[in-house]
Amino acid sequence: METKDKIKELRKSTGMNRKEFCKYFEIPYRTVTEWERGTRKMPDYVLRLLAYKVKMDDLIVKDDVNEE
């Protein structure tokens, strides 16, 4: 999986749209857009730090469709 797909997956796992994600992490909207499009390379360590923050802040939204 490419980095651009990983950042999209991470953002979607939080249930945030791009604007909310950018505001929460204080990252410029254009930067995240370019990362997700693959026109700009996100450093691997930034992805790891964002994933860590998502986990520590318990931002992952659970899929309620499959839960009964």
Tokens linked to 49: 């730090």
Q: What is the pLDDT of residue 65?
A: 41
- Total number of domains in the chain: 1
**In which domain, by residue range, is 47 found?**
3-56
| 38 domain residue, yes or no | yes
At 49, which CATH number? 1.10.260
Within 10 Å of residue 14's Cβ, how many Cβ atoms?
A: 17
In whole angstroms, what is the distance from residue 65 CA to residue 60 CA? 15
Confidence at residue 66, expressed as pLDDT on a 0 to 100 scale: 41
Flag whether 21 is in a domain. yes
Task: Please provide the DSSP assignment of 8-60 as one string.
Answer: HHHHHHHT--HHHHHHHHT--HHHHHHHHHTSSPPPHHHHHHHHHHHHHTT-P
pLDDT along the chain (68 residues), means of 10: 94 96 97 96 95 94 51
